[in-house]
Amino acid sequence: MLNSKIEEIKIELSKVIVGQNEMIDALLIGLFTNGHILLEGVPGLAKTTTVKALADIINLNFKRVQFTPDLLPSDIIGAQIYDMKTGEFKIKKGPIFTNLLLADEINRAPAKVQSALLEVMQERQVTIAEDSFKVDSPFLVLATQNPIEQEGAYTLPEAQLDRFMFKIVVGYNTKEEEFEIAKRVTSTQSISLNKVLDKETLSLIKEEIAKVHIDEELEKYIVDIVCATREPKEYGLEEIADYIQFGASPRATIDMFKAVKAMAYIRGNDYVSPIDIALVVKAILRHRIILSYEAEAMQKTTDELIQKIMEKIDIP
């Protein structure tokens, strides 16, 4: 197995990132399973720095788009332009044609621009004028957003949220980690990152992850968890039934099947255990459950509801 490569990646990332292990694991799982990642947190928590460092380490093409209120869809996907010399229209491709696309502060742009990503996130292709173009493989959207309550932010459409495998809530570092960050920033020592992964090795890792064993009982357990978000009463969860307006989509089940295999692989196992499910379940479901007005009035969070579901459903 190529698990040693994962440790090498983490060692390189630790040169520039202190802590934030959940975010790093999520980025690796996304990379290994072609799953898009949404990172939410206040500014200054190294979200952008982590993505840039990951792109350096794995030797993939990387582009960054800063989302702003005046951004246009053509600024992301490209446009058809008229060439005065030849008298013909030509396609000018946008930054979306890359391996890793960092959509920085994605919720600063209105829905029209955010929806420009919908086709490419699902179909891995872009339509410009009348032509469709495939994007390179691997292709991964890594989006960052500031919490909605911050000024000048828009909520992401539910259809787009569903296309993100994970929503990772990036929290503050511990006091010890922050002390280490401050020491590093004020140090004059330059940091160079080694490239430890290429496309060929990445493909081999994906093949190994596909072979990770998951027991049928655990597969049914995953399906039960997702179905409980839609029909809580059927699982004896009457207490949360009024708090959920819409549950998770089938895409959540598919992403869970992929993510638990990758999590088991990252942890050095060739089989999935209930621990792997517990480690990814909130990140996969938290942005896919639509809360009711009653839940918002009671200040309930999707994480709380997911926890209730996990406590109720028996582990096989």
The structure's pTM equals: 0.84
Q: Residue-wise pLDDT tens for the chain (316 aa)? A: 567 778 888 777 777 777 777 788 888 898 888 889 988 877 766 677 777 788 888 878 888 888 888 888 888 888 878 777 777 778 788 888 888 888 888 888 877 787 778 878 888 888 887 778 888 888 888 888 877 655 566 777 787 888 899 988 876 767 776 777 676 666 666 677 778 877 888 888 888 899 999 999 999 999 999 999 988 888 888 888 888 888 888 999 999 999 999 999 998 888 899 999 999 999 999 888 888 898 888 888 888 888 888 888 888 7
Residue 6, pLDDT score: 80
What is the separation of C-alpha 28 from the centre of its chain, rounded to a whole number of angstroms? 10
- Report how far residue 235's alpha carbon sits from residue 244's, in angstroms, rounded to the nearest whole number: 14
- Report how far residue 80's alpha carbon sits from residue 160's, in angstroms, rounded to the nearest whole number: 25
Q: Domains of the chain by range and CATH?
A: 3-186 (3.40.50.300), 212-312 (1.10.8.80)
Closest C-alpha among 168, 174, 172, 272 to residue 220: 272
pLDDT tens profile 19-40: 777 788 888 898 888 889 988 8
Task: Judge contact between 99 and 138, C-beta under 8 A.
Answer: yes
Residue 276, pLDDT score: 92
Residue-by-residue DSSP string for 197-254: --HHHHHHHHHHHHT-B--HHHHHHHHHHHHHHH-GGGGT-HHHHTTEEE---HHHHH
With 0-12 CB in 10 A as exposed, 13-18 as middle and 19+ as buried, what is 101? Answer: buried
| Radius of gyration for the chain, computed over Cα atoms and rounded to the nearest angstrom | 21
- Report how far residue 40's alpha carbon sits from residue 143's, in angstroms, rounded to the nearest whole number: 8
- Report how far residue 240's alpha carbon sits from residue 33's, in angstroms, rounded to the nearest whole number: 32
Q: Which residues of 181-214 are buried (b: 16+ CB within 10 A; e: fewer)?
A: eeeeeeeeeeeeeeebbeeeebeebbeebeebeb
Q: How far, in Å, are 4, 57, 234, 270 from residue 313 at the CA level?
A: 35, 40, 11, 25
Closest C-alpha among 228, 272, 226 to residue 251: 226
- Report how far residue 172's alpha carbon sits from residue 20's, in angstroms, rounded to the nearest whole number: 9
